[in-house]
Chain A
Amino acid sequence: MTRPSSFAEYSRRLLAFIERGAVAAEMEFAALARELFALQFTHVAPYRRLCEARRVTPDSPTDWRLIPAVPTTAFKELELTSLAPVERTTVFHSSGTTEHRPSRHFHSAESLAVYEASLLPWFARHLMPERRCPTCELPASASAQVGHLRSTASHTFLCLAPPPEQAPHSSLAHMFATASHSLGAADSAFLATAGADNSWSLDRAAALAALRSSGQSSQPIVLLGTAFMFVHLLDELERRGLSLALPPGSRVMETGGYKARSRELPKAELHSLLTARLGVPSGFIVCEYGMSELSSQAYDRVAGSASILSPQSSVFSFPPWCRALVISPETGREVAEGETGLLRLFDLANVRSVMAIQTEDLAVRRGDGFELLGRAAQTEARGCSLLAA
């Protein structure tokens, strides 16, 4: 196996792979995965110790599926990064106000650039499908695409999140900022503020004003937020007895998770309320799955595409440079189609941390994608002697 000389060289190959998008082949994924594994094995000491304990090294002639995955919780305890402290320009923390010890995902300017290059084309494909480069299925490249997109009229992005300056450790705020700066119109806005305790609160007045003014235009908007922020917005609309009609073609990106920051609504109910209060039909409500430990995101639909599945059983897909496996917790092997297990991800864009991530999310294997069921740790135990820890 030829070893790359550096992360920089690997990143160049990865960006080329991302540029080719959907035409990228399995062989190429496997080769990049092995290259990155070798780099991370060498340069991420706590990861190497885990691999050695499992007796897997870059010299083991393994399928990429057998590359040892690190549990997301390990990001709380260990510095899973190849970046020296001086190289770390950004750190993303897992969200949640109650967590004493968040996950930490360190980035440098270079790794953030890869993160953004991974983020943009897949985001654009699902939230702004009409803007795809007509000659290929995916945007030619993130940078080229941005230039291309700038030439057409841009959508206004309304982000129900604090601006990244206020939430420097939020990968979600960074993602929203990256997307709206690259793909959104100049009047795109962040409509929440971050408190000292890392809690987010919706700027209700600004949000209503922005939504009302969008409603008066004919230009569709892109509304981005977490489920709990949408609940706060919907509660505010209900309190005021308001229903708005966003311009046709407007779309919503909702990313899961409440973390006890609002009352919880079943997804179907949340979506039907979004339709009722904002006039966005369900086909334009796109769910995103992502986490601070990753650099790629999955989506459950292309905005505006006809839905054949109910919202409760939406199927998420990652981009070709991030693969999802559903693993049987009992045997540790991949489950069969339609079966349930734990989601394991191999994200080639996680250059300076660890590519192979074992989540605690339960999912059903559906073709190349997965249906999300939720966090395993939240399920109720069968025994009678479990205390609330």
Chain B
Amino acid sequence: MTLPNYFLADLPPEADLTPAMVTDACLTLKRNRAQYLAVRDTPSILRTLVRTAEDWLSDDYPFRQFALKEGPAHTGFSAPTLAIGLDNFFKQLTGENLEALLAQELGTTQRLDAFCASNSDSRTRRLALGTGPELVGHITAGCVPNAAFMAIVLGLLTRSAQFIKCSRGGAFLPRVFLHSLYGSEPKLGACIEIAEWRGGSPALEEVLFAQCDGVTATGSDEAVEAVRRALPPRVRFAGYGHQVSFGYVTREAVSGWRAKKIVAAAAADVVAWDQLGCLSPHVFYVEDNGVGFALQFAEQLAAELARREAAEPRGRISTEDAAQIAARRAIYEVRAAHSPETTRHWCSPDSTAWTVIYEAEARFALSCLNRFIYVKPVFDVGEALRGADPVRDHTSTVGLAAQEHELEALAKQFARWGATRLCPLGQMQNPPLTWRHDGRALLGDLVRWTDWEQ
């Protein structure tokens, strides 16, 4: 299978994009939207999305096969890692979940099609209709495709034409997803464009932003801020900057009968998308009052990561990324030799495939990722939160492993502290479709409301 030349991202890498090409593409998208997309209703969009997701979950779907075959070379993820990551996303894309998303965001599921009232609206004798932007620009970063996939889904729900700008080398999976949409509904596919260029190319971005009435951006805080500053004031904007995540395991959980399952769940969080997503853990805090639970957890996690490596190998990484892992391992090796009671390390032999660092120091540590995880013993949740204070404003997900009776108090502490998502360990990189990205509304930033007082 080869992908036809439908999108700018299909052009050979040596082809240079010009501002005129971006403007032309945007004008075409708007024309196509008016003709094909603006006239569609929510149920028909849902049917298309659900059918496409079902296709992607089928082993013999040609686009899936293509993504798994060519993906490792383009994305750096191994085929099993890709398969699990894609499955986790498309399993979420059901009619039920999409309706739940619309109800959550808009009050009812029909409010993009007709004036209607939510419960609170009817009490105030109002109807309301939401209208999506004509053209949304999505500035996406990195190689984990979920943010781009989700942006496409949300843009289709609001019936917006979309221009997806990926960072260099990041377009592959969203591009295959769009080809699959194009394959089943060419008219819909003609309302979406995808292109790849290095971030901070003002000539291209300026003409893109001039055409958009909504823009979303994910990436580093600096990159997101740069996009915000470059936007004309009339453009609606949703920016998602740096986020980090970590796990928290209680003493009761790790000493109980579920201990083995908890270790496997922790390993799944490290393995998913090779730990490169914003929701991937950097650290697991493990409650330990000097009896060695955390050390035992670290040792078991290493064994589990070794097992997972056999089935879901870490992708190939650049020499630079490998050098970062090697350099970090070297310093922990010295510390472990010097003070084994506070530092231990477990490394994959003859490779940088996985690394576990046990460090008796509660201060949060940023992992160099690619399956490099810290395990840190803490006396209680208070010590973990003090240790994680430097990333307090940047924390997305806390994965929890605790006994039933401990959960509520823990959840409240993390929420008050500032985490925006709590989930069971093992689900960190697998949020539900309705997940409020960074604690914010999904559609609310883009939809314009028209209130009609009766």
A interface residues (Cβ-Cβ under 8 A, vs B): 46, 49-50, 52-53, 70-71, 73-74, 77-78, 327-332, 340-342, 358, 360, 362, 376-377, 379, 381-387, 389
Contact = CB atoms under 8 A, between A and B. Distances in A.
Nearest to A46: B338
A49 B242 CA distance: 39
B369 A385 contact: yes
A360 B335 CA distance: 17
Contacts of A74: 330-331, 334
B184 interface: no
B331 A73 contact: yes
Given A49-B337, A78-B338, A387-B391, A360 B323 contact: yes
Given A70-B334, A74-B334, A332-B350, A385 B276 contact: yes
Interface string B322-360: 111111001101111110000000000011100000000
Given A53-B336, A382-B321, A383-B370, 16 more contacts: A50-B337, A70-B334, A71-B330, A73-B330, A73-B334, A77-B335, A329-B323, A330-B319, A332-B350, A360-B323, A376-B320, A382-B143, A383-B144, A383-B280, A385-B244, A387-B391
A70 B76 CA distance: 31
B78 interface: no
Rank and list the top 6 A-B pairs by shortest CB-CB distance, nearest first: A376-B323, A329-B326, A383-B276, A384-B142, A379-B320, A71-B330
Given A342-B323, A376-B324, A385 B338 contact: no
Interface string B27-43: 00000000000000000
A46 B339 CA distance: 10
Nearest to A330: B322
A53 B243 contact: no
Contact of A381 (B76, B280, B369): B369
Contact of B242 (A331, A379, A387): A387
B368 interface: yes
A383 B326 CA distance: 17
A53 B337 contact: yes
B160 interface: no
A183 B89 CA distance: 69
A382 B350 contact: no
B331 A383 contact: no
12 contacts: A46-B338, A49-B337, A71-B331, A379-B321, A382-B142, A382-B369, A385-B245, A385-B277, A385-B280, A387-B244, A387-B366, A387-B391
Most buried by A among B242, B317, B333: B333
A74 B332 CA distance: 9
Contacts of B419: none
A327 B322 CA distance: 11
Contacts of B391: 387
Q: Which of B143, B243, B327 has the most CB of A within 10 A?
A: B327
Interface in B22-80: 76
B2 interface: no
A381 B242 CA distance: 13
Interface string B232-246: 000000000011110
B61 to A, nearest CB: 27
Nearest to B244: A385
A340 B326 CA distance: 14
B180 interface: no
A158 to B, nearest CB: 36
Nearest to A389: B366
Contacts, number: 125
B394 interface: yes
B218 interface: yes
Contact of A331 (B220, B351, B368): B351
Contact of B327 (A52, A53, A331, A342): A342
Contacts of B276: 382-385
A383 B335 CA distance: 27
Interface residues of B, number: 46
B394 A387 contact: yes
A50 B325 CA distance: 19
A342 B326 contact: yes
A173 to B, nearest CB: 27
B318 interface: yes
A331 B352 CA distance: 7
A283 B151 CA distance: 55
Interface string B294-334: 00000000000000000000000111111111110011011
Contact of A340 (B144, B319, B334): B319
Nearest to B334: A74
Contacts of B323: 329, 341-342, 360, 362, 376, 379
B278 interface: yes
A198 B350 CA distance: 41
B245 to A, nearest CB: 7
Contacts of A360: 323, 327
A52 B324 contact: no
Contacts of A382: 76, 142-143, 276, 317-318, 321, 369-370
B362 to A, nearest CB: 16
Contacts of B338: 46, 49-50, 77-78
A342 B325 CA distance: 11
Contacts of B219: 384
A341 B366 CA distance: 23
Contacts of A332: 326, 350
Nearest to B147: A384
A384 to B, nearest CB: 4
Contacts of B337: 46, 49-50, 52-53
Contacts of B352: 329-330
B93 interface: no
A381 B321 contact: yes
B324 A377 contact: yes
B102 interface: no
A71 B244 CA distance: 28
A176 B338 CA distance: 35
B334 A78 contact: yes
A327 B327 CA distance: 11
